Chains A and B, each alone.
Chain A
Amino acid sequence: MNGFTYLKNVATLELDQQKCSGCKMCTVVCPHEVFVIKDKKAIIQNKDFCMECGACEKNCPEGAISVRSGVGCAAGIINGLLRGTEPSCDCSSSKKSNCC
């Protein structure tokens, strides 16, 4: 992937192939070519490319994919630590802060 990969063996992505209907939706929405279809079933080919955005889980009609999705953002994680919440870049509560 253009030379960019992040830490290995950390992604929480999981696929239950029993449930997969081979609709290919995961290969459409994934921005990092994590999935490929083989023999009409999805397989996770590049797990270390996964950035846990959650698009595949959200768009799998069979509910075959699970991933702990969230922001891969240090500022968001610090926000979460300070507020005692989940990591969040949500800053809509305070207009002053800057975020994506």
Chain B
Amino acid sequence: MGKDFIIGKLNTAVGTVLQVSTLWSSNDLWSTIKVRWSIGRMDYKVKQGLYAVGNPDENSNIFVSANFKLSFDHLRRALSGMNAWVLVLDTKGVNVWCAAGKGTFGTKELVYRIKAHELEKLVSHRKIIVPQLGATGVSAHEVKNKTGFNVIYGPVRANDIQAFVDSGFKATPEMRKVTFPLVERLKLIPVEITYGKYYLLFVPALFFILSGLNIHGYSVDLAWINGGRSIINLFSAYFAGCALTPILLSWIPFKRFSLKGLFIGWIIGFILMYFHYLGNNIFEIISWFLMIGSISSFLAMNFTGSSTFTSLSGVQKEMKLSLPVQIISASVGLIGWIITRFL
């Protein structure tokens, strides 16, 4: 991974500290795009430790981040024009909020890093600014007890840091609130699309092969005719669940993600039916609706993991009913579709 964000070295009371740029190079931008497509996403890290932005001194603020490079990049860009210290925790390359949920962005690691980098010698104040979403893993009063440092929870979004600092560490209600606007949902869709991995080749290939089955045995011509149609139906269902539903999330009725996915899946189903992609046999059409609905519903339900407002209790309640229905409906649909090969 390129380290072109390191632009110098500072000699400090606690040793040499690397100085980082607040700009994104074309390399940083390109890597970000790749990570959004899940390429190398689980190993996109910066080295944990202490960094400097500008020329900080003993009065400068300390900002805490995760060692997922995307988190670190957003923080250093937001600190443009400031002199500040950045303390990067070892979160195994996971972003702040998720790492806080897992506990790696947590009290123990923060306390360890404050002591290991001798922050009490580095700065004269006793304040350390932690992103608000880190609060899921960090206990401010415990950190205070163990290190003497006061945790100040900064805004949810790095973009608000400048305004937060300028106002004397006062966050507006908007800065404290997690939202989920279209533009943020769009950024997540590439990762959702990569969810299927090799199943995206394997399942369509299987349908293509099975499409050749008929009452007289096997026909390659039939596989070409009906196989292509099947593949389009499968990818449409996939797209409905992992792209269309997230995009339209706020406009689709129903609270349950599985119902949102089913709704969009069936709309796509009706469009496909109109263009005769579901075949002309009523049993095949019903089988397709069962399969398309299940696929779209399951993938939409999976988006609860990316969403910013679903609770564990809620998702468990939703899944208790939805998961068995999805499995049964997909199975019945698949068996029905295979049977219609021989009608």
> Which residues of A lie under 8 Å from residue B60 when comparing CB positions?
none
* Known pairs A31-B132, A31-B178; A72 contacts B315 (CB<8 A): yes
Which residues of B158-178 have CB atoms within 8 Å of chain A's CB atoms? 171, 173, 176-178
Q: Is A77 an interface residue (CB 8 A)?
A: yes
Report the Cα distance A58→B110, complex, angstroms: 14
Residue contact B138 to A58, C-beta cutoff 8 Å: yes
Stretch of B8-16, B47-55, B74-82, B303-311 contacting A (4+ beta carbons < 8 Å): B303-311
Q: Is B26 an interface residue (CB 8 A)?
A: no
- Contact digits for A56-94, partner B, Cβ 8 Å, 1 yes 0 no: 001101000000111111111110000000010111100
Residue contact B133 to A100, C-beta cutoff 8 Å: no
Report the Cα distance A89→B156, complex, angstroms: 22
Which chain A residue lies CB-closest to B322? A74
Closest beta carbon of chain A to B63's beta carbon, Å = 17
Complex partner residue of B102 from A33, A53, A77, A89, CB under 8 angstroms = A89
Closest beta carbon of chain A to B310's beta carbon, Å = 4
Q: Is B191 an interface residue (CB 8 A)?
A: yes
* Known pairs A31-B156, A58-B137, A98-B191; A12 contacts B313 (CB<8 A): yes
Closest beta carbon of chain A to B311's beta carbon, Å = 4
Which chain B residue lies CB-closest to A53? B136
Report the Cα distance A82→B318, complex, angstroms: 18
Q: Is B3 an interface residue (CB 8 A)?
A: no
Complex partner residue of B311 from A33, A50, A59, A98, CB under 8 angstroms = A50
Which residues of B51-94 have CB atoms within 8 Å of chain A's CB atoms? 92, 94
Highest count of chain A CB atoms <10 Å: which of B92, B305, B317? B305
> Which residues of A lie under 8 Å from residue B180 when comparing CB positions?
2, 4
Residue contact A58 to B139, C-beta cutoff 8 Å: yes
Residues on A facing B (Cβ under 8 Å): 1-8, 10-12, 25, 28-33, 49-55, 58-59, 61, 68-78, 87, 89-92, 95, 98-100
